[in-house]
Amino acid sequence: MRRFENKVIVVTGAAAGIGEATVRRFVREGGKVVIADYAREKADALAVELQGQGAEVMAVYFSAVDLESCRKLIGVAGEEFGRIDVLVNNVGGTDLKRDTDVEKMDIGYFDEAFHLNLRCGLYLIQQVIPYMEKSGGGAVVNVASIGGMTADFRGTYYGAAKAGVINMTKYAATQLGKKNIRCNVVAPGLVLTPAALRNLPEAMRCLFVRHNVLDYLGAPEDVAATIAFLASEDAHYITGQTLVVDGGLTIHNPTVADIMEK
Ligand SMILES: NC(=O)c1ccc[n+]([C@@H]2O[C@H](COP(=O)([O-])OP(=O)(O)OC[C@H]3O[C@@H](n4cnc5c(N)ncnc54)[C@H](O)[C@@H]3O)[C@@H](O)[C@H]2O)c1
């Protein structure tokens, strides 16, 4: 499949994990990709590797919590390639030392958590509208999390901001549909990114597999494939939706795993 021939795609948080897998997927399907990340060296190395294989890609330094940096990213991408067809708002995350439970969380972390997970994506959508409008439409895919749909014992800001991403996407989809700009969400469950593989204790991994419907945990490529689908013409009648990519973790009663073992 080469669904993105002659298309320009901007991916944020693109130097590692789900973002990197997404870049590789779009490149494999013929797209020209802007690799936006604050990890300069990693982003540059990925760009050099893919350029060596003949891909049209460009690494751009961008800091998700800085509006000026977000504005510059879209300006540079538009200038370099002349158009922007797809925006993947992938960057996100949280500091779980500060983003704990309601009783103990650090209120001083509120702005940063929301800027990283919600404001950045919303502002980038605002910035790409003129480009997409000029070329007759486009697609936005926002990466949320099952943490934006269900609660946990920590990561309160993260979950609230990701819930915001899900509903913000419906607003954007509603307001931009007549311009032929589709906006959708991918909500991953636990994904075995290199960082997760390094940091996730074996016991925790087993716990997640036990509660998953499928008997394994997802890889970044699984999420990348879903992002590419929603960004492609195959999804041309889908907008404002959230596609959960979690191996069935959140579809069932939480007691199922325990009852099945009895
Ligand atoms: N990995 C998971 O299990 C999982 C689960 C649910 C949702 N998600 C969501 O998927 C997205 C990607 O997650 P991941 O685990 O692949 O990410 P990651 O932590 O591996 O980071 C991906 C990239 O984002 C860059 N980045 C981080 N903060 C940045 C900032 N402020 N400015 C610019 N670049 C920045 C990093 O340098 C890195 O290259 C995030 O929105 C995350 O919330 C991930």
SS3 per residue for 205-260: HHHHHHHCCCCCCECHHHHHHHHHHHHCHHHCCCCCCEEEECCCCCCCCCCHHHHH
Atom of ligand 1 nearest to the CA of 195: 20
Structure confidence by residue, pLDDT tens digits, 24-65 = 999 999 999 999 999 999 999 999 999 999 999 999 999 999
Handedness of CA 142, 145, 150, 155 (dihedral sign): negative
DSSP-derived secondary structure letter, 41: H
**Residue 12 within any structural domain of the chain:** yes
Whether the Cβ atoms of residue 69 and residue 91 lie closer than 8 Å to each other: no
- Reference 220, options 173, 186, 257; nearest CA is 186
**Residue 70 within any structural domain of the chain:** yes
- Structural domain for 226, as ranges: 8-191+220-249
Under DSSP, is residue 33 helix (H, G, I), strand (E, B) or coil? strand
CA distance linking residue 41 with residue 61, whole number of Å: 10
Whether the Cβ atoms of residue 92 and residue 116 lie closer than 8 Å to each other: yes
**Residue 101 within any structural domain of the chain:** yes
**217 exposed, middle or buried (CB, 10 Å; 0-12, 13-18, 19+)?**
buried
**Residue 256 within any structural domain of the chain:** no
**Residue 215 within any structural domain of the chain:** no
- Reference 144, options 194, 90, 101; nearest CA is 90
Distance 96 CA to ligand 1 centre (A): 14
Q: Is the CB of 93 under 6 A from ligand 1?
A: yes
β 242-245/181-188 pair status: parallel
For ligand 1, mutation pick of 145, 197, 198, 243 (most atoms within 8 Å of CB): 145
Distance 117 CA to ligand 1 centre (A): 10
**Residue 115 within any structural domain of the chain:** yes
Handedness of CA 165, 174, 235, 23 (dihedral sign): negative
**pLDDT tier at 1 (50, 70, 90 boundaries)?**
confident
**pLDDT tier at 261 (50, 70, 90 boundaries)?**
confident
**Residue 262 within any structural domain of the chain:** no
Q: Is the CB of 116 under 6 A from ligand 1?
A: yes
Total domains in the fold of the chain: 1
Mean pLDDT of the chain: 97
If you take atom 40 of ligand 1, which residue's CA is the nearest one? Answer: 92
Structure confidence by residue, pLDDT tens digits, 97-126 = 999 999 999 999 999 999 999 999 999 999
Backbone angles phi, psi at 165, to 5 degrees: -60, -40
pLDDT at 262 over 90: no
**Residue 255 within any structural domain of the chain:** no
* Residues catalogued as catalytic: 158
pLDDT for 199 equals: 87
Beta bridge partner(s), residue 189: none
Structure confidence by residue, pLDDT tens digits, 126-149 = 999 999 999 999 999 999 999 999
Q: Is the CB of 244 under 6 A from ligand 1?
A: no
What percent of the chain shows pLDDT beyond 90? Answer: 96
Beta bridge partner(s), residue 34: 10, 58
- We report the CATH number of the domain holding residue 87 as 3.40.50.720
Under DSSP, is residue 121 helix (H, G, I), strand (E, B) or coil? helix
DSSP-derived secondary structure letter, 87: E
Structure confidence by residue, pLDDT tens digits, 147-169 = 999 999 999 999 999 999 999 99
201-218 average pLDDT score: 95
Range in 87-101, 195-209, 227-241 the model is least confident about: 195-209
